[in-house]
Chain A
């Protein structure tokens, strides 16, 4: 059990986070408050919604409905599960995720700020999910690129965890991305089941609530308080420096249709005490629904031995030796998408 007594370092962090939150709250509110189009999307019937209407509705639901539920994810040979507490006030979200499988682990998220408690190693990892802003901007801008690469199937209805759901299907227009079937709770638009589909329609990955209490009594303040109970834990922040890929000597000579650069970082990997620290470039791309990370390391024959393509559920991984460098491409995309990225990547220094 974590003590409620916070160390001075953590208090400083909390104060800084609180100050930051206060400073950016109006901005966050402005960014996350549903635009007129999203509000209208909530009222539109399922048959009338566009791709962006559906997405805006799902996002709005996560800002307006509290819930407690159990989530099960089936991907490849892996079955994972977590218990979720979700609180929100229309602009802010606080979430607690307790893993029920694998190593004991509690993850807390306040908007894009994430703390992960690893109870076995007594480490708490603090991160910021900057990619959330990219997807928010995509919805705010009412970007039409999603409709350019995905086709909206005829909506249907179903039931998940005892709740009535609208079912919508997004079919890729080319073979560079997977399709999706999404169940959203009929009244709120909350995502309650999500399938990732291969080109032949088979299910590669499924995530669904097996049990869900909508509008459960979940206190944002209580979750925030739990998030601050870090006494006895060592706080770690992965070193993450935003960089420009071209300045680091990398260009994508031939782009992959639909995939835009989201972020590029230099990061040190291996937060565990025994792990050897090393700097890796991570160049992130997304088409709005699927993401690809290109990790580029200096080649080390002791660590980099096996080139190839690997798959687990919807996640594919490509590893490749490129002269003095070693590329690891990861994404929830078909194998050929990663191959296209690998072929387009070039060293310009």
Chain B
């Protein structure tokens, strides 16, 4: 039986991401990841790595380069942490650029030379984890839509524009657990939350979510 602590965190996340855990082991691992911030970072990093393995190198590397550039920009704006984290971001950007070049070259390697690709990915994993940690340390948030944009799209109706929305301009706040809000979220998933994208998968998503919310 797998218990967090007896197996390394990386191995546990890897087994979970690879679908190697079943039954109680699986449930325990999911519960552990759900309650552990560092484990969630590892989980996201593994999925990013999975995307690298499954996708074309060029597409992923350019995306991660964008991530690195945004991170660096953000860190430059954060004076108190810029001296250390800025160096990390700079190193990351350079190494990701090198990774992108290496990835392209990796196609030219012999087909049985898998180790080179895995070394590259291992390095990439470390960089991604560092990047995610740096992002959290720097308090990074997604670009938040501005109210001005909304006014343009709403057509500048005079009556409506005088009503002010009590919305924090810094962006949405994390969802808090509130029984009344939970009931509304559940009602939305039951009667409203649906999509032509995946009618069946959408149902499964909602059913699983509702389980987590209660």
A interface, CB within 8 angstroms of B: 55, 58-59, 62, 70-82, 84, 86, 93, 95, 97, 99-103, 105, 107, 109, 114, 116, 118, 127, 129-132, 134-136, 138-139, 146, 156, 158-162, 167, 170, 174-176, 180, 182, 191, 194, 198-202, 206-207, 210-211, 238, 240, 253-254, 257, 262-263, 265, 267, 269-270, 275, 280, 282, 284, 286, 288-293, 295, 303, 307-312, 315-318, 320-321, 328, 330-332, 334-336, 339-340, 342-344
Contacts and interface: CB of A to CB of B under 8 A. Distances in A.
Given A200-B143, A210-B17, A339-B167, A289 B157 contact: no
Given A263-B191, A310-B172, A320 B27 contact: no
B208 A82 contact: yes
B212 A99 contact: yes
Given A105-B210, A109-B203, A293-B191, A159 B183 contact: no
Contact of B203 (A81, A95, A102, A176): A95
B87 interface: no
B205 A78 contact: no
B94 interface: no
A180 B53 CA distance: 20
A293 B17 contact: no
Interface in B41-58: 43-44, 47, 53-56
8 contacts: A62-B198, A95-B200, A97-B203, A97-B208, A202-B67, A288-B196, A293-B188, A311-B173
Contacts of B176: 310
B192 interface: yes
A270 B183 contact: yes
B160 A344 contact: yes
Given A202-B67, A263-B192, A331-B188, 17 more contacts: A58-B197, A71-B204, A79-B34, A79-B40, A99-B207, A100-B30, A127-B190, A131-B193, A135-B196, A160-B54, A167-B55, A194-B201, A286-B194, A309-B167, A330-B192, A332-B195, A335-B145
Q: What's the interface size class on B, roughly?
A: 35 or more
A235 to B, nearest CB: 16
B98 interface: no
Contacts of A107: 207, 210
Contact of B19 (A58, A210, A286): A210
A165 B59 CA distance: 17
Nearest to B165: A339
Contact of A340 (B67, B153, B191, B200): B153
A82 B207 contact: yes
B212 A102 contact: yes
A42 to B, nearest CB: 16
A105 B53 CA distance: 35
A76 B43 CA distance: 13
B118 interface: no
B175 A311 contact: yes
B82 to A, nearest CB: 22
A269 B204 CA distance: 22
A265 B214 CA distance: 23
Contacts of A76: 174-175
A317 to B, nearest CB: 6
Interface string B140-171: 00111101011001110100110101111001
A127 B174 CA distance: 30
A265 B47 CA distance: 39
A317 B181 contact: yes
A73 B204 CA distance: 10
B79 to A, nearest CB: 24
Contacts of A240: 191
B197 A182 contact: yes
Contacts of B187: 238, 267, 269, 280, 282, 293, 295
Given A254-B155, A269-B183, A307-B166, A80 B194 contact: no
B199 interface: yes
A309 B19 contact: no
B30 to A, nearest CB: 5
B90 interface: no
B66 interface: yes
Contacts of B143: 198-200
A314 B58 CA distance: 27
